[in-house]
């Protein structure tokens, strides 16, 4: 038993040495996830001091009347919009380039000043110009314009004061979450990119084993009667060791440069990190076991890993994903790992909030490892009997 | 008194799917003896060696290393056999010493014993001064010597070498055979494969001729030669550069039916019916700019022995 452990350790040590033999490639293993995490964090980052988002709005005034002028001024002064007045031609061009939504106050808009509730007859038509892909902004603009114009109409048509046109209720927003913390884009992206690159490292490690199995060194290993279990353990150990280092480096940079913190249980974070490293090791062994040629294995692995990362909510927060994507998340280890990491970081969850994710990821890792071990055993048996390796 | 048989193959067969690569080969290699397996490509040399090394399981028959069956105790069997694959089975990224240390651990060596054996193995192949150098910086000859050292680490009584001189220049090839001769004198049983007749003829104690997976002849080279005197004149050469294929084709056409030209990488074999024709063929080669680094014409040749053996097997 002791000699088997020593053998597995020797194989792991060899992989560790091979990893560091190409120092630039090894450095990139740590630099790339940090760069990507920083980029994703910056994209989704909303500074706390900037207040809510403002609607970019273009105002086109085609009616020369005083009421239309006042309505336009209201829109231009609205704190909910980042509005400016332009010509119709300018508005068309900017909207086509998806820079903003435009509201056109048409000729005859001034008639609204004489409007009475229940009055029939023709009504002026306010036109909203929007890019086909900006339907959310169109609806937002419709709400802003309706509110602003109705207030102005009430004041002009009925002589109401500013305080009288205010809605008879107040709206207050309250964020509801299972955890008390506030969303932090950098924490989310560092968790996501770390997980993604753990899987990519697992793939690279698996491809190394695949290459070794096709090289003469494997003949020497076979001639020395090394048990397959030692090969599997050694590879898993080496992959997991580098993966742990990757987690440490990525989160250390995140902590010092971007303020990424484990606000919740640190023990839960460690548990999840260990489970994720085991998943990386199992992924690598599966790649080595199932891969035919290196090019084929690499392409298929990238497809699966990117798919699992995208659907698992590693790139963008899960609440931004469509319903169908969220419905498949329970079948993905990446989603479980991400939920767990988010729970113990920005959601400030305790140790037990990490346990379901860690158990699920550990379960996936064990299943993949078992599948890889069985497949490698069958492949070795076939190779010994004159089949292909 | 002859030394005991160290490696024994009994009625060994190997199949790749439905194709039989080795059929009923029986062979024994004694300690202090070098035996070469000779034959054309696809004759089953490497498969026979792979079975002997425990890399392949035979479909039929048994392999014993010092009386030990692989099936009963793979680790004990592996401890008795040192295998040298055809291409260097080494990690280019690691140093020579680190490679040996790793391969030694595969055989259960560790600590001071591992260090002592690794240094000794490096010394045996005269690579002590390159111990700390990365293998990626080694020439083909140095890699092959380190490849051999890796097989010697656990001090096995049996050495198995798959085409150990393929892609080596004449000086490196001579160095490998000098090493093998020393190991033979140390009492190792050595089985190697080659498709170069001159190597089998000059460097080995016995030669086994394989054709289509069958052992068609086995004996000392001199004995095989005495029984079948040479008819053809042969020249073995080593070229300075690999000649382009179109040039080899053109020369072959010019030589006509009386002479044969085979070029494998930088190795060349030229055969003709008479020494005069051989001289004419050699002149034609030199006229085409083929540049020899070294060449020799063996006093005796196994050409005919090999050919006749194969013909008998086919009948």
| Structure confidence by residue, pLDDT tens digits, A111-134 | 887 777 776 677 788 899 998 888
List residues bridging with B14 in a β-sheet: B22
State the SS3 of A76-122. Answer: HHCCCEEEEECCHHHHHHHHHCCCCEEEEECCCHHHHHHCCCCCCCC
> How much is the pLDDT for B228?
52
Of B81, B106, B108, the CB nearest to A221: B106
**Nearest CA to B303 among B235, B212, B219, B213?**
B235
What are the φ and ψ backbone dihedral angles of B233, each rounded to 5 degrees?
-90, 135
| Structure confidence by residue, pLDDT tens digits, B99-125 | 999 999 999 999 999 999 999 999 988
Kindly state the tokens that stand for A387.
């089949």
CA–CA distance, A368 with A378 (Å, rounded to integer): 15
CATH of B231-299, picked from 3.30.930.10, 3.40.50.300, 3.30.70.980, 3.30.70.890, is 3.30.70.980
pTM for this predicted structure: 0.76
Kindly state the tokens that stand for B16.
């790749």
Residues of B with CB under 8 A from a CB of A: 14-17, 21, 50, 53-57, 59, 74-75, 77-78, 81, 83, 85-91, 93-94, 98, 102-103, 105-108, 110, 150
Nearest C-alpha of chain B: how many angstroms from A375?
19
Cβ–Cβ below 8 Å for B57 and A384: yes
The secondary structure of chain B as a DSSP string is: -PPPEEEEEEEEEEEETTEEEEEEEEEEEETTEEEEEE-STTSSHHHHHHHHHTSS--SEEEEEETTEETTT-HHHHHHTEEEE-SS--S-TTSBHHHHHHHHHHHTT--HHHHHHHHHHHHHHTT-GGGTTSBGGGS-HHHHHHHHHHHHHTT--SEEEEESTTTT--HHHHHHHHHHHHHHHHTT-EEEEEES-HHHHHHH-SEEEEEETTEEEEEE-HHHHHHHS---SEEEEEEESSPPPHHHHHHHHHHH-TTEEEEEETTEEEEEESSHHHHHHHHHHHHHTT--EEEEE--SS--HHHHHHHHHHHH-
List residues bridging with B292 in a β-sheet: B239
Cβ–Cβ below 8 Å for B86 and A216: yes
The secondary structure of A205-258 as a DSSP string is: HHHHHHHHHTSHHHHHHHHTT--HHHHHHHHHHHHHHHHHHHHHHHHHHHHHHH
Q: How many CB atoms lie within 10 A of CB B205?
A: 15
The secondary structure of A366-380 as a DSSP string is: HHHHHHHHHHHHHHH
**Nearest CA to B101 among B120, B115, B89?**
B115
CA–CA distance, B237 with B196 (Å, rounded to integer): 11
What are the φ and ψ backbone dihedral angles of A172, each rounded to 5 degrees?
-125, 135
Q: Which residues of A touch B102 (CB under 8 A)?
A: 10, 13-14
Q: Which residues of B touch A22 (CB under 8 A)?
A: 93
Q: Are B86 and B151 in contact (CB under 8 A)?
A: no
Report the alpha-carbon angle A213-A214-A220, nearest 5: 60
The secondary structure of A285-297 as a DSSP string is: HHHHHH-SSHHHH
Q: Which residues of B touch A3 (CB under 8 A)?
A: 108
- Intervals of CATH 3.40.50.300 along chain B: 5-225
> Mean pLDDT over residues B176-205, rounded?
87
**Where is mean pLDDT largest: A171-175, A176-180, B155-159?**
B155-159
Q: Which residues of A touch B50 (CB under 8 A)?
A: 219
Q: Is the pLDDT of residue B1 over 90?
A: no
Cβ–Cβ below 8 Å for A385 and B91: no
Q: Is the pLDDT of residue A41 over 80?
A: yes
Q: Are B230 and B303 in contact (CB under 8 A)?
A: yes
**A49-164: CATH class:** alpha beta
> Mean pLDDT over residues A335-352, rounded?
91
> How much is the pLDDT for B294?
80
Cβ–Cβ below 8 Å for A6 and B90: no
State the SS3 of B213-258. Answer: CEEEEEECHHHHHHHCCCCCEEEEEEECCCCCHHHHHHHHHHHCCC
Cβ–Cβ below 8 Å for A384 and B56: yes
> How much is the pLDDT for B231?
64
Q: Is the pLDDT of residue A382 over 60?
A: yes
Instruction: Calculate the alpha carbon distances from B181 to B35, B155, B224 in Å.
Output: 12, 16, 21
Q: Which residues of B touch A225 (CB under 8 A)?
A: 54, 74-75, 77-78
Say if A4 is an interface residue toward chain B (CB within 8 Å).
no
- Intervals of CATH 3.30.70.980 along chain B: 231-299
CA–CA distance, A314 with A335 (Å, rounded to integer): 8
Q: Is the pLDDT of residue A270 over 70?
A: yes
Of B50, B54, B85, the CB nearest to A225: B54
Kindly indicate whether the domain formed by B5-225 is annotated with CATH number 3.50.50.60: no
Say if A24 is an interface residue toward chain B (CB within 8 Å).
no
Cβ–Cβ below 8 Å for A17 and B14: no
Report the alpha-carbon angle A100-A104-A106, nearest 5: 175
Q: Which of B89, B158, B162, B193 to mutate to test the interface with A (most CBs of A within 10 A)?
A: B89
**Does the model's ipTM exceed the 0.90 cut?**
no
Q: Is the pLDDT of residue B314 over 60?
A: no
User: How does strand A55-61 pair with strand A81-85?
Assistant: parallel
Confidence of residue A338 (pLDDT cuts 50, 70, 90): very high
What are the φ and ψ backbone dihedral angles of A67, each rounded to 5 degrees?
-65, -45
Q: Are B95 and B150 in contact (CB under 8 A)?
A: no
Of B17, B57, B89, the CB nearest to A219: B89
Rg (CA), chain B: 20
Q: Which residues of B touch A10 (CB under 8 A)?
A: 102, 105-106
Of B21, B59, B108, the CB nearest to A3: B108
> How much is the pLDDT for B315?
43
Q: Which residues of B touch A387 (CB under 8 A)?
A: 16-17
CA A143 to chain CA centroid, Å, is 30
* Helix and strand counts by DSSP (H, E) for chain A: 13, 4
CA–CA distance, B51 with B69 (Å, rounded to integer): 12
Cβ–Cβ below 8 Å for B94 and A222: no
CA–CA distance, B116 with A305 (Å, rounded to integer): 46
Percent of chain A with pLDDT over 90: 54
> How much is the pLDDT for A178?
64
Q: List the single residue in B with minimal CA-CA distance to A388.
A: B16
**Nearest CA to A7 among A237, A280, A241, A245?**
A237
CA B28 to chain CA centroid, Å, is 17
> How much is the pLDDT for A389?
44
| Structure confidence by residue, pLDDT tens digits, B35-93 | 999 888 888 999 999 999 999 999 999 999 999 998 899 999 999 999 999 889 999 99
CA B158 to chain CA centroid, Å, is 14
User: How does strand B259-264 pair with strand B267-272?
Assistant: antiparallel
**Nearest CA to A150 among A198, A99, A112?**
A112
Of A3, A17, A223, the CB nearest to B55: A223
Kindly state the tokens that stand for B73.
């105790």
Of B16, B59, B83, the CB nearest to A223: B83
Cβ–Cβ below 8 Å for B108 and A7: yes
Confidence of residue B162 (pLDDT cuts 50, 70, 90): very high
- Looking up tokens 């002479």 gives B259
Q: Which of A220, A221, A380, A382 to mutate to test the interface with B (most CBs of B within 10 A)?
A: A220
Any idea where the domains of chain A sit in the sequence? Answer: 2-45+180-384, 49-164
Q: List the single residue in A with minimal CA-CA distance to B93.
A: A21
Say if A221 is an interface residue toward chain B (CB within 8 Å).
yes
- Looking up tokens 């690579």 gives B127
Of A7, A219, A223, the CB nearest to B105: A7
Q: Are B29 and B185 in contact (CB under 8 A)?
A: no
| Structure confidence by residue, pLDDT tens digits, B207-222 | 998 988 999 889 888 7
Cβ–Cβ below 8 Å for B89 and A216: yes
CB-based contacts of A261, cutoff 8 Å, min separation 6: A187, A255, A345
């Amino acid at each position: 038993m002791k000699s088997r452990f020593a053998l597995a350790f020797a194989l792991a040590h060899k992989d560790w040495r091979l990893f560091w033999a190409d120092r630039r490639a090894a450095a990139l293993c740590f630099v790339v996830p940090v760069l990507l995490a920083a980029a994703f964090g910056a994209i989704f980052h909303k500074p706390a001091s900037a207040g809510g988002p403002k609607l970019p709005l273009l105002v086109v005034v085609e009616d020369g009347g005083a009421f239309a002028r006042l309505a336009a001024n209201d829109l231009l002064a609205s704190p909910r919009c980042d509005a400016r007045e332009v010509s119709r031609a300018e508005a068309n061009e900017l909207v086509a380039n998806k820079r903003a939504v435009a509201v056109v106050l048409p000729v005859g808009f001034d008639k609204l000043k004489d409007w009475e509730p229940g009055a029939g007859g023709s009504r002026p038509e306010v036109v909203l110009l929007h890019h086909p892909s900006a339907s959310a902004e169109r609806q937002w603009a419709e709400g802003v314009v309706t509110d602003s114009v109705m207030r102005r109409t009430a004041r002009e048509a009925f002589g109401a004061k500013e305080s009288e046109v205010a809605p008879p209720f107040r709206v207050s927003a309250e964020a509801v979450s299972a955890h008390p913390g506030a969303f932090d884009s950098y924490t989310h992206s560092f968790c996501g990119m770390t997980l993604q690159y753990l899987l990519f490292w697992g793939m690279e490690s698996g491809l190394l084993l695949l290459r070794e199995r096709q090289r003469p060194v494997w003949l020497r290993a076979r001639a020395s009667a090394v048990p397959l279990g030692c090969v599997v353990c050694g590879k898993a150990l080496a992959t997991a060791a580098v993966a742990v280092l990757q987690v440490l480096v990525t989160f250390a940079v995140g902590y010092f440069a971007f303020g990424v913190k484990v606000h919740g249980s640190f023990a839960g974070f460690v548990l999840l990190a260990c489970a994720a490293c085991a998943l990386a090791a199992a992924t690598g062994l599966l790649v080595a076991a199932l891969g035919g040629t290196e090019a084929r294995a690499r392409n298929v692995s990238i497809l699966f890993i990117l798919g699992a990362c995208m659907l698992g909510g590693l790139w963008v927060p899960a609440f931004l994903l469509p319903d169908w994507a969220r419905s498949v998340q329970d079948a993905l280890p990446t989603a479980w790992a991400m939920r767990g990491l988010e729970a113990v970081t920005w959601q400030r969850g305790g140790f037990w909030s990490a346990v379901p994710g860690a158990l699920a990821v550990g379960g996936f890792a064990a299943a993949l490892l078992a599948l890889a071990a069985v497949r490698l055993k069958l492949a070795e048996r076939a190779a010994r009997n004159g089949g292909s390796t | 008194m002859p030394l005991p048989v160290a490696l024994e193959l009994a009625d060994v067969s190997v199949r790749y799917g439905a194709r039989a690569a080795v059929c009923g080969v029986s062979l024994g290699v004694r300690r202090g003896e070098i035996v070469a397996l000779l034959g054309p490509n696809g004759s089953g040399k490497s498969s026979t060696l792979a079975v002997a090394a425990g890399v392949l399981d035979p479909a039929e028959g048994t392999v014993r290393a010092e009386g030990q069956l692989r099936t009963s105790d793979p680790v004990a069997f592996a401890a008795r056999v040192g295998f040298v694959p055809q291409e260097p089975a080494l990690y280019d990224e690691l140093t020579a010493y680190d490679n040996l240390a790793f391969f030694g651990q595969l055989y259960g060596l560790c600590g001071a014993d591992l260090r002592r054996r690794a240094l000794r193995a490096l010394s045996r192949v005269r690579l002590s001064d390159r111990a700390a150098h990365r293998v990626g910086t080694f020439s083909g000859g140095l890699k092959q010597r380190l490849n051999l050292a890796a097989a010697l680490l656990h001090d096995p009584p049996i050495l198995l070498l798959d085409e150990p001189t393929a892609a080596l220049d004449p000086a490196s090839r001579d160095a490998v055979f000098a090493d093998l001769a020393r190991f033979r004198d140390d009492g190792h049983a050595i089985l190697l494969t080659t498709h170069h007749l001159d190597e089998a003829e000059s460097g080995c104690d016995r030669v086994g001729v394989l054709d289509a997976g069958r052992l068609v002849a086995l004996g000392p080279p001199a004995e095989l030669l005495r029984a079948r005197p040479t008819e053809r004149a042969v020249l073995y050469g080593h070229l300075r550069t690999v000649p382009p294929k179109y040039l080899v084709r053109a020369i072959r056409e010019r030589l006509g039916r009386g002479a044969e030209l085979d070029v494998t990488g930088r190795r060349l074999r030229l055969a003709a019916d008479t020494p005069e024709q051989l001289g004419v063929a050699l002149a034609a080669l030199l006229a085409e700019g083929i540049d020899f680094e070294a060449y020799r014409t063996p006093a005796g040749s196994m050409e005919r022995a090999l050919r006749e053996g194969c013909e008998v097997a086919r009948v």
